[in-house]
Amino acid sequence: MKLVNKYSHLNGEEFLLVHKKDLYKEILDAIESVDAFKCRTKKSKEIRKKDEFLLNPTEINNEFKRIFNSLGWNEVRRSFCVSSDYATVKIIEPLDFEEQKKFLIQNNLPIIYSFNQTDFIKQNVAIEVQLGKYFAVTYDLFVKHLSFYNGGLIDVGIEIVPTKNMQTQMSSGVPFFEKEVHNVLRHGRTTPPVPIIIFGVEP
């Protein structure tokens, strides 16, 4: 695949270029090594694309997983406790899981478990590949990357999404770069408050 466009939020790309230049090159090389053309295997049932062979997001995801895993990038899960009380959230969010539980027990507060999971993490950089439903990107950007960042597990989050051109070769409901960047920009330059890079890719 080729990297067609990118958006650096809160100096996400600049951080990698200065502090993790070799890792950044590894990420770019990994993207280029994904062969999306062989993944054009999904026969469309949609009326306007009926019987066309579209890019199969599951197979492309599997290619990303195979390549990144071979380079030592692995899925990571962050467990945490949740609360609907603002004061409690402000205290427990920066703490690790065991410290959160300890605080809640000591203060006789309910313990409700949850977790976030990210596709790939290496050297405090997280990568999410989103070729499925568009709403998942918003969750990644405004919840998942932020959770891992606040938990001290990452310095930068990377979101890989199709360009509009690639999206037209897929089923409906798929996210695309131009719209996802627009969604970030309209919130203002500091939201979400975590360094992020959004990559727009296509075959």
Question: Which tens digits make up the pLDDT trace of 116-163?
Answer: 899 999 999 999 999 887 788 999 999 999 989 988 899 999 999 999
Written as one string, the DSSP assignment of 51-113 is: T-EE--HHHHHHHHHHHHHHTT-EEEEEEEE--S-HHHHHHHTTS-HHHHHHHHHHTT----E
CATH number of 2-73+120-202: 3.40.91.20
Domain spans, the chain: 2-73+120-202
Contact yes or no for 34/64 (Cβ under 8 A): yes
**Where residue 51 falls among pLDDT bands split at 50, 70, 90?**
low
Rounded to an integer, the average pLDDT of 47-53 is: 71
pLDDT bin (cut points 50, 70, 90) of residue 45 is confident
Question: Over the stretch 95-105, which tens digit does the pLDDT of each residue have?
Answer: 989 999 999 99
Q: What residues are paired with 115 via a beta bridge?
A: 79
Residue 161's contacts (CB-CB under 8 Å, 6 or more residues apart) are 130, 131, 137, 175, 176, 177, 180, 198, 199, 200, 201
Q: What confidence category does residue 46 fall into, taking pLDDT thresholds of 50, 70 and 90?
A: low
- At residue 190 the predicted structure's pLDDT band, cuts being 50, 70 and 90, is confident
One-character DSSP codes across 145-177:
HHHHHHTTS-SEEEEEEE-HHHHTTS-TT---H
